[in-house]
């Protein structure tokens, strides 16, 4: 009996998962082929729309709980052999209050402040993954993959699709044409049924979110509550072949830093890089990407972060299209895949997709730079080695029951006396409509070049390590309960991922209580929570602990307030410090295109540079303004002050201004300016420091996009540095150009 216990437990979990996911019949609509050709112009005057299937949006799920929708909305759907057509009629009692601004494609932080509509298409009808499309009244588009297991919206995914928007005296209309070759769905001659959700966002004093189906707050799954569209037949994704040739050219002029600040910039050479990326739909749901001399450039500057008095490596999100596409296939509880570790690849290839119940993700690349993080319990170091390495990632996931999965992951990199291999298994099991568990176990084997190991205090020769993550989540209408355990051994390394800390064991638990308004009261939602965690190293010593009590408020004018008090303890360099803090966050969206906020922290802290207790104040005000239809202005500032025994150690300021003028939905010009100023008190340091340092980064960009791959970018950026007694001096400047074209067959 005991020998079979693990098998019985697994079988029981699978049965529970299948039973939990079972549901009654979903609302079903029958879709029929278009009665005429459709011109995508936002007018909805064709015969096809007169005979299209009409789906009403009668439910407000936020802030109301399936309350009657405050405005009337119709969604119309039809199809032909080439694509899926969707239209909306969004009626408005006060059309002059419609919020609509021009912006770049996928500028979701700004788009969600506008009136807009969205649809999610579950083309496999397996309630695991969906394609999301959003549009505002001016025809600004955004698209994303949605993964149910991780609750992950990946707006880096791009499809090529047509749309138009029209504002009228009764509201606004949206018309969308989504080619079948941009979607993935089963290849079958029989009629297909797809999951489908239509939503309208109507932001006024509060943001009303209106849908075509009820949303049960006691059910943690979203796709399982969708409407169903049946009747798709005679459809095919075609050859699903796309070629994206690019030409990128740049020139960087730089100052010889040995003679800083004297001398001028030395003109650099023009570097022109032609490249091509090909995408081939091997099946309707299995996509092969390959690239030669790849263009992995990004034209968006990273959001600046203060790196003063930090123990661990900073995290910057991936923005390069090749790696972003299908990124959700590589998500696991432990972040063992983080593609920004690939810095300067010669080539890359990727395969992502799904066949039956099996999902597959694979990519490989040869990189000319080896980026490494050396983690520990107390901090992390990093370096970049000028050496060729070849590596890849293989991810396999199998659907179990109605809402559960089992998966495998392998990552590996090697070259020049270096190697890192990671492998393991993971699982996600839905025990009920509101409760799920997950786990992941990984083992790594690593070897560094001898000189690197000695320089950074790492083990020589081949060494190994293990990591484990396990957790349970209960999410219902009024309660969120989360518990987890994580463990990363001293020798564990995930060099294809982002894991800046090892030699840790953490127990973490949270309980949240939610209260909902009715859409007319003084609050939209109230949330109160209690959280506690304990982290220790593998010798049994406590290194971090926290007990936190917090609350948040959402209300009229889309106002948000969050306050958290935390009793924290942290072990560093042989001493346990009290690092308790208080956090306060405020945000307000009083009108269309206008939002303001403030994030602040008042805390006891550690002066890591000088090994002593300290106090810190951090304040981060921000604002975003839509100045008319065409102009968007974002301003952010961060102030950080550290002192100990009543004496100041440093004051750091970081400001960023982002100004965009949008000519139309396809083109804009953008200016970004980042200013960094750090003022230190040298006598407060145990080693020499510059009393005052300043830096300025600027970037100017002209962008023209016909679609995500047919693009033209012209840009300029520069960096400047100033020190005590030295004015800000430009240290480098770069001119860049990129043109790309999408050929879809």
DSSP string, 356-369: TTEEEEEEEEEESS
CA angle 446, 451, 457 (to 5 degrees): 65
Q: What is the C-alpha separation between 659 and 641, in angstroms, rounded?
A: 28
- The structure tokens listed for 467 are 């990591």
Residues 6+ away with beta carbon under 8 Å from 6: none
The reported pLDDT for the residue numbered 318 is 55
Is the pLDDT confidence value at 626 over 50? yes
| Beta strands in 556-611, from DSSP E residues, in sequence order | 559-572, 575-578, 581-591, 594-607
The reported pLDDT for the residue numbered 182 is 86
CB-side neighbour CA atoms (13 Å) of 609: 19
The reported pLDDT for the residue numbered 24 is 47
Residues 6+ away with beta carbon under 8 Å from 92: 71, 98, 170, 171, 172, 202
- The structure tokens listed for 641 are 């002050």
- The structure tokens listed for 309 are 């008095």
294 pLDDT tier (thresholds 50, 70, 90): low
- The more confidently predicted of residues 73 and 291 is 73
Q: What is the C-alpha separation between 106 and 123, in angstroms, rounded?
A: 22
Question: Which range is least confidently modeled, 139-148, 282-291, 442-451, 519-528?
Answer: 282-291
Contact yes or no for 258/242 (Cβ under 8 A): no
**Percent of the chain predicted with pLDDT > 90:** 64
Contact yes or no for 389/366 (Cβ under 8 A): yes
> Which residue bears the tokens 């001399």?
293
- The structure tokens listed for 223 are 């796709």
In the chain, DSSP finds a helix count (H) and a strand count (E) of 5, 43
The reported pLDDT for the residue numbered 329 is 79
355 pLDDT tier (thresholds 50, 70, 90): confident
Is the pLDDT confidence value at 17 over 90? no
Mean pLDDT, residues 40-61? 96
Q: What is the C-alpha separation between 187 and 208, in angstroms, rounded?
A: 38
307 pLDDT tier (thresholds 50, 70, 90): low
Mean pLDDT, residues 719-726? 90
Q: What is the pTM for the complete model shown?
A: 0.84
Of the candidates 222, 220, 94, the one whose C-alpha atom is nearest the C-alpha of residue 169 is 94
Residues 6+ away with beta carbon under 8 Å from 646: none
Task: Give a three-class secondary structure readout of 233-245.
Answer: CCCCCCCCEEEEE
Q: What is the C-alpha separation between 178 and 524, in angstroms, rounded?
A: 35
15 pLDDT tier (thresholds 50, 70, 90): very low
Residues 6+ away with beta carbon under 8 Å from 61: 209, 210, 211, 214, 215
Going by their DSSP bridges, the two strands 28-30 and 227-232 should be labelled as parallel
542 forms beta bridges with: 536
Mean pLDDT, residues 417-443? 94
Of the candidates 278, 271, 277, 272, the one whose C-alpha atom is nearest the C-alpha of residue 253 is 271
CA angle 150, 153, 155 (to 5 degrees): 145
Chain centroid, CA 562 distance in Å = 22
Residues 648-666: pLDDT tens digits?
999 999 999 999 999 999 9
Residues 69-84: pLDDT tens digits?
999 999 999 999 999 9
Assign 251 to helix, strand or coil: strand
- How many of the other CB atoms lie within 10 Å of CB of 237? 17
Mean pLDDT, residues 579-590? 96
The reported pLDDT for the residue numbered 14 is 38
Q: What is the C-alpha separation between 494 and 443, in angstroms, rounded?
A: 9
Is the pLDDT confidence value at 10 over 90? no
Question: Which range is least confidently modeled, 99-103, 428-432, 647-651?
Answer: 428-432
Query: Cis link prior to 556 (omega < 30° from 0)?
Result: no
- Burial class from Cβ neighbours inside 10 Å (0-12, 13-18, 19+) for residue 527 reads middle
- The structure tokens listed for 136 are 């505002």
Across all residues in the chain, what is the average pLDDT? 88
Cα-flanking dihedrals φ and ψ of residue 679, to 5°?
-115, 110
Q: Which domains does the chain have, with CATH numbers?
A: 31-232 (2.60.40.1190)
- The more confidently predicted of residues 384 and 99 is 99
The reported pLDDT for the residue numbered 289 is 84
Going by their DSSP bridges, the two strands 418-430 and 129-135 should be labelled as unpaired
Task: Give a three-class secondary structure readout of 67-115.
Answer: EECCCCEEEEEEECCCEEEEEEEEECCCHHHCCCCCCCCCCHHHHCCCC
Mean pLDDT, residues 341-361? 83
Assign 62 to helix, strand or coil: strand
Going by their DSSP bridges, the two strands 116-122 and 129-135 should be labelled as antiparallel
The reported pLDDT for the residue numbered 194 is 96
The reported pLDDT for the residue numbered 301 is 44
> Distance of CA 691 to CAs 28, 614, 679, 681, 682, Å?
69, 19, 6, 6, 6
The reported pLDDT for the residue numbered 368 is 86
- The more confidently predicted of residues 21 and 107 is 107
Question: Which range is least confidently modeled, 34-38, 289-293, 639-643?
Answer: 289-293
């Amino acid at each position: 009996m005991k020998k079979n216990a693990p098998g019985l437990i697994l079988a029981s979990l699978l049965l529970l998962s299948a039973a939990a996911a079972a549901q009654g019949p979903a609302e079903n609509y029958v879709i029929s082929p278009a009665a005429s050709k459709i011109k995508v112009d936002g007018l909805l005057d064709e015969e096809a729309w007169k005979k299209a299937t009409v789906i009403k949006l009668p439910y407000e799920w936020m802030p109301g709980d399936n309350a009657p929708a405050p405005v009337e909305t119709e969604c119309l759907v039809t199809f032909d052999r080439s694509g899926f057509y969707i239209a909306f009629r969004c009626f408005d009692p006060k059309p002059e209050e419609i919020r609509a601004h021009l912006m770049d494609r996928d500028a979701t932080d700004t788009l969600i402040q506008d009136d807009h509509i969205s649809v999610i298409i579950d083309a496999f009808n397996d309630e695991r993954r969906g394609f999301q499309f959003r549009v505002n009244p001016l025809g600004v588009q955004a698209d994303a993959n949605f993964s149910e297991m991780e609750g992950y919206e990946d707006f880096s995914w791009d499809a090529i699709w047509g749309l138009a928007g029209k504002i009228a005296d009764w509201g606004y209309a949206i018309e969308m044409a989504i080619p079948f070759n941009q979607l993935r769905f089963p290849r079958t001659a029989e009629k297909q049924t797809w999951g489908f959700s239509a939503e309208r966002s109507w932001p006024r004093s509060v943001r009303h979110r209106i849908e075509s189906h009820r949303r049960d707050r006691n059910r943690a799954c979203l796709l399982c509550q969708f409407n169903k569209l049946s009747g798709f037949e005679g459809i095919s994704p075609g050859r699903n072949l796309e070629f994206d040739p690019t030409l990128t050219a740049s020139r960087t002029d730089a100052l010889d830093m040995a003679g800083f600040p004297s001398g001028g910039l030395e003109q650099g050479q023009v570097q022109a890089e032609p490249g091509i990326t090909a995408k081939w739909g091997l099946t309707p749901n299995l996509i092969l990407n390959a690239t030669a001399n790849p263009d992995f450039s990004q034209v968006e500057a990273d959001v600046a972060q203060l790196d003063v008095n930090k123990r661990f490596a900073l995290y910057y999100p991936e923005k390069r299209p090749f790696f972003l596409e299908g990124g959700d296939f590589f998500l696991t509880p432990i972040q063992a895949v983080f593609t920004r570790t690939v810095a300067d690849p010669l080539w890359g290839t990727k395969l992502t997709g799904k066949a039956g119940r099996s999902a597959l993700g694979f990519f490989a690349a040869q990189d000319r730079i080896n980026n490494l993080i050396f983690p520990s319990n107390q901090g992390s170091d990093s370096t970049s080695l000028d050496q060729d390495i070849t590596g890849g990632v293989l991810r396999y996931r199998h659907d179990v029951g109605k809402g559960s999965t089992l998966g495998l992951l392998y990552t590996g990199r090697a070259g020049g006396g270096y190697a890192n291999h990671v492998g393991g298994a993971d699982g996600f099991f839905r025990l009920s409509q509101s409760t799920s568990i997950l786990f992941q176990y990984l083992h790594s084997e690593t070897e560094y070049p001898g000189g690197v190991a000695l320089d950074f205090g790492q083990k020589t020769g081949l060494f190994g390590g293990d990591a484990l993550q396990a957790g349970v989540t209960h999410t219902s209408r009024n309660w969120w309960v989360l518990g987890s355990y994580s463990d990363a051994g001293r020798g564990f390394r995930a060099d294809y991922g982002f894991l800046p800390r090892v030699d840790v064991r953490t127990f973490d638990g949270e309980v949240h209580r939610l209260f909902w308004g009715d859409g007319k009261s003084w609050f939209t939602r109230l949330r109160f929570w209690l959280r506690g965690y304990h982290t220790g190293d593998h010798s049994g010593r406590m290194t971090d602990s926290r007990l936190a009590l917090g609350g948040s408020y959402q209300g009229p004018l889309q106002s948000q307030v969050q306050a958290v008090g935390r009793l924290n303890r942290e072990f560093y360099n042989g001493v346990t410090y009290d690092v308790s803090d208080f956090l306060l966050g405020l945000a307000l969206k009083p009108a269309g295109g206008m939002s303001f906020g403030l994030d602040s922290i008042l805390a006891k802290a550690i002066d890591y540079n000088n090994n002593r207790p300290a106090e810190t104040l951090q304040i981060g005000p921000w604002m975003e303004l839509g100045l008319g239809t065409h102009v968007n202005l974002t301003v952010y500032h961060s102030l950080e002050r550290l002192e100990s025994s009543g004496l100041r150690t440093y004051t750091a300021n970081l400001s960023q201004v982002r100004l965009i003028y949008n000519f139309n939905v396809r083109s804009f010009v953008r200016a970004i300016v980042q200013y960094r100023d750090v003022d230190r008190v040298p006598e407060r340091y145990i080693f020499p420091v510059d009393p005052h340092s300043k830096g300025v980064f600027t970037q100017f960009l002209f962008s023209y996009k016909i679609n995500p791959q047919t693009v033209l970018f012209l840009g300029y950026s520069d960096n400047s540095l100033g020190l005590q007694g030295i004015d800000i001096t430009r240290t480098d400047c770069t001119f860049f150009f990129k043109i790309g074209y999408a050929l879809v067959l």
